[in-house]
Amino acid sequence: MVYDKLSSITKRIINDPNAAIDNDEACELATTTHNAIDLIISANKIRETYKADDTFTCSIINAKSGACSEDCAFCPQSAFYKTKARTYPLLDKSKIVERAIEMWNGGANKFSMVTSGYALTEKELDLICEAAILIKEKTGLSLCGSLGVLNEDIAERLKASGLTNYHHNLETARSFFDQVCTTHPYDDDIKSVKIAARAGFKVCSGGIMGLGESWEQRIELAFTLKELDVESIPLNFINPIPGTKMAERPLLAPMDALKCIALYRLINPLKDITICGGREISLGDYQSWTFLAGANGLMVGDYLTTMGRGLKIDMEMIRNMEI
Ligand code: SF4
């Protein structure tokens, strides 16, 4: 029954990317598909149709770490929690540029400067803009920033310095946000995503699966992102860090993580879906299934506060998938 339904949905989306699944279909598939394989097969066909030639890797630098004023329940960088995450102010320009060159030479296509905190100060903005100009001079990386909430002036200056992408996660569904963050409203994040889009950035916005939200709330987030028309959706999976509010949260089972990716592809057939933090710990041996489940991008190298498994191994995995 589910198989028949999925085959007809797959054909429908392959014929017309605007005929993606709606909220009711997504909820039904999420709750009736106990075996993720059928969903994965469907998502892979859709990825092959629309994203086969659009596979990419992202890399980041945690340019400023810890001491954040926000209380995001999963985040070891929040000043509300006592964790082992490193705390340091904005790195020197030379260090940021050096890391970008290293990632470019290692095969990454995109590079993002990421800072902890609600928003950049004026001085930090100056340094980030100077680093961006140098990175553009020295590499062919597509440049992204994840630098907190935006206003029009900050967006304009970042754009003029060569950033083409802006990343700002919504983290979770609006209906679950109060369980995740209480120091700023959901609408601040929505507003930043809209400002980034208006400034002409390719906007990257997604969230974390496994914070305790329901399948309906995972789907709610997917539809909020669809409505915002973001170009790229980064999906993270819970990595419970000791000291944070989410320290005791269980990991997502690998098949549930793959199911999330597949559902996001069925909801957003034309968008980039990038698999980011928590990949190693949640997917384990199934990491090489990320593209089969519908993703077309992978974050490589280290994450913000946790280590990746190394650029070389990730690049080899992508080559071996021969997609
Ligand atoms: S997720 Fe970002 S805003 Fe939230 S606590 Fe961590 S660094 Fe601060």
User: What pLDDT digit, counting tens, does each position of 240-261 carry?
Assistant: 999 999 999 999 999 999 999 9
User: What pLDDT digit, counting tens, does each position of 131-151 carry?
Assistant: 999 999 999 999 999 999 999
Atom number of ligand 1 nearest to Cα 148: 3
pLDDT category at 310 given cuts 50, 70, 90 is low
* Phi, psi angles (nearest 5°) of residue 12: -60, -45
Atom number of ligand 1 nearest to Cα 116: 7
pLDDT at 110: 83
Displacement of CA 199 from its chain's centroid (Å): 20
pLDDT at 322: 57
CA of 68 to the centre of ligand 1 (A): 6
What is the Cα–Cα distance from 255 to 251, expressed in whole angstroms?
Answer: 11
**CB contact at 8 A, 202 and 165:** yes
User: What pLDDT digit, counting tens, does each position of 32-68 carry?
Assistant: 876 789 899 999 999 999 998 888 788 788 889 988 9
Ligand 1 site residues (CB inside 6 A) read 68, 70, 72, 75, 77-78, 116
What is the mean predicted confidence (pLDDT) over 184-189?
A: 96
**Residue appearing with tokens 């029009």:** 152
**CB contact at 8 A, 223 and 23:** yes
* Domains defined for the chain, CATH in brackets: 44-321 (3.20.20.70)
Nearest-CA residue for ligand 1 atom 2 is 116
Can you read off the two tokens belonging to residue 131? 């680093």
Atom number of ligand 1 nearest to Cα 75: 6
User: What pLDDT digit, counting tens, does each position of 92-111 carry?
Assistant: 999 999 999 988 888 888 88
Can you read off the two tokens belonging to residue 223? 């539809």
Atom number of ligand 1 nearest to Cα 304: 7
The pLDDT > 90 percentage for the chain reads 72
In DSSP notation, 161-221 reads TT--EEE---BS-GGGGGGT--SS-HHHHHHHHHHHHHTTPEEE--EEE-SS--HHHHHHH
pTM beyond 0.85: yes
Nearest-CA residue for ligand 1 atom 7 is 116
